[in-house]
Structure 1
């Protein structure tokens, strides 16, 4: 889970984990911090084919044409190199025996994506996501929905395959914010931080959502750019975040300070957060854990022990290893 792994390693610069938005959870996993805001779907642009894309994709199936195939706008017959009466841009490989068909290009392989189990129909997605797919042709929307649903189901156990599913969805509907968002979050889970940052930036441009900022900041940390993470942490919109995404950004900001060797500043950042909240929500657990971990890094072992115990006291879902960290500290302190 993204939050658990990030809160346990706030100084590592190797964040990971997250769930592509929209797919219903199929396990106990938590959505990635900074996921799609409730209203982002209302602001996203709908995608539809245009003339520029028609040159790159078969006009009927939407697949990338085979290498060397005529563009879909070309004339038929002798001008396209085919027989008189051939339909423009028609692909005939499907008629050939399997052993004589051309190999799939890398672009076509990405477009195909991983195999889709028949049990995944796309109905697994939230309505807010399927609503954004209605601007696509019916068959195309169904295929995109299935890839997004598959990604959501696989992201915790097989994030790389989940990422490949989102790439297949993006190849079909690159102008949908929810698709770029899912692609970004899956890339983040799979450890492709530069790609995740690019996709989430694209989604933010499309729908104006700011809820991606914590993950984007965490990507900057993973790419060795803590100063960029701090810039995002100081964005004006962060002040209006709900408690959970605000806590996520606080953890990332403190981690960036640690990346820069600024332990005192990291502690001050965390001390301004509601560490003593009476809530037992996961964001409070992660805040307390990050504070305890930073205290230990600063050499304040007794204070760290106290906060690991306070973390464990509210960590009913065992999001962290606070109990193990507390035991190790007690043994070291004698």
Structure 2
């Protein structure tokens, strides 16, 4: 039920997740779901606690990026960066690795380290020929970091790349590009 109402009512979803946790708190997937729902409801400490419990129960490196983002939400960007530097963080591949890099770059920006945020996002998967949700989010984060670093022209190019990659309209890349060109 939590998953069904999450998009429309995160607080109701959280109530359902908490009820499930009270009834089946020793099941890893219940704790993971409670953590993800708490994250979407902006309950960073609860989300982090639940995700840590789920990882202890089930193992694996899943949701490391969400945990790092919870650290950012709690005002601890340094911890998010540490998670990205950890052996576990460096071992991630594919979309999980991209998500963690996006979070770590955001943590760098929280600290005013804009050039380091740009470098954090630079890797072989920063290829404007790619499309889909993951690439669109990566390109958007890269564009945002470039603009924050004072490299507005490059940022504009990457907002256009993000808009082209964003087949499902998940980002506001087109609007951001329009703002930068004075058309928004």
TM-score normalised by structure 2 residue count? 0.95
Name the residue aligned to 1:301.
152
Residues 200 and 216 of structure 1 are in contact (CA less than 8 Å); yes or no, is this contact kept in structure 2? Answer: yes
Give the corresponding residue for 1:237. Answer: 88
8 Å Cα contact 1:250/1:273 also seen in 2 = no
> Which of residues 143, 153, 170 is equivalent to 1:319?
170
The whole-number CA distance in structure 2 between the counterparts of 1:326 and 1:182 is 35
Deviation of 1:192 (Å): 0.4
Task: Please state how far the C-alpha of 1:160 moved relative to its aligned partner.
Answer: 0.8
Q: Distance in 2 between matches of 1:183 and 1:298?
A: 36
Q: Which residue of 1 aligns with 2:98?
A: 247
Which structure carries more relative contact order (alpha carbon 8 Å, separation 6+)? 1
Shift of 1:307: 0.9
Partner of 2:21: 170
Between Structure 1 and Structure 2, the one with more helix by share is 2
The count of corresponding residues between Structure 1 and Structure 2 is 183
Q: Which residue of 1 aligns with 2:121?
A: 270
Q: TM-score, normalised by structure 1?
A: 0.53
Runs of 5+ unmatched residues, structure 2? none
Structure 2 counterpart SS, 1:166: helix
Structure 1 gaps, min length 5: 1-149
Please tell me whether Structure 1 or Structure 2 has the larger radius of gyration of its CA atoms.
1
Residues 277 and 330 of structure 1: CA distance in aligned 2, closer, same or farther (over 3 Å): closer
CA distance in 2, matches of 1:279, 1:218: 25
- Paired residue for 1:220? 71
Distance in 1, matches of 2:159 and 2:64, equals 28
Q: CA deviation at 1:273?
A: 5.3
Computed over aligned residues only, the root mean square deviation of the Cα atoms, in angstroms, reads 1.3
Deviation, structure 1 residue 302: 0.9
